[in-house]
Amino acid sequence: MFFIIAIVYGLNVLFTEGFATFKSEMGKSWREFWRRGFDFTGRTTRREFLLTWFSVPIGLLVIGLIAMFVLAISDIIGGILLIVLFIAFIVPAFAMYVRRYRRCWS
């Protein structure tokens, strides 16, 4: 459900503000997702939240393709890499949910 809303919101930003703004916002949301990955204290705006959920799957697709290539070469190293990437994604996502929850209920 979040992904569908994020797609609609991302396309709205793309068509109303232009491609250059959309591209810079996507990059900024990707950097903020990883930079504030362990920050459970602040707040996340709706725009940051939805654009992150629009950009993170694209980045994870690229990282996943690299991990699958490594998995094809070596089963053990590729499996460990996929587990590490999964854990590395879960913590920042949970932190962003906590920050968004604070923003919605304050």
Model pLDDT for residues 79-93, shown as the tens digit of each residue: 787 788 888 888 888
67, with CB counted inside 10 A (0-12, 13-18, 19+), is: buried
The CA distance from 70 to 28, in Å, is 28
Q: Average of pLDDT values for 42-51?
A: 83
Mean predicted confidence (pLDDT) in 12-33: 74
Choice between 9 and 62, residue whose per-residue pLDDT is larger: 62
- Residue 40: pLDDT band (50, 70, 90) is confident
Q: What does the pLDDT look like over 5-21, one tens digit per residue?
A: 666 666 666 667 776 67
Helix, strand, coil % (nearest 5) of the chain?
Answer: 85, 0, 15
Regarding predicted confidence, which is higher, 72 or 35? 35
The alpha carbon dihedral of 44, 28, 78, 67 has a sign of: positive
pTM: 0.67
Q: Is pLDDT at 57 greater than 80 in this prediction?
A: no
- Structure token digits, residue 7: 């797609």
Give the CA count within 13 Å in the CB-facing half-sphere of 72.
5
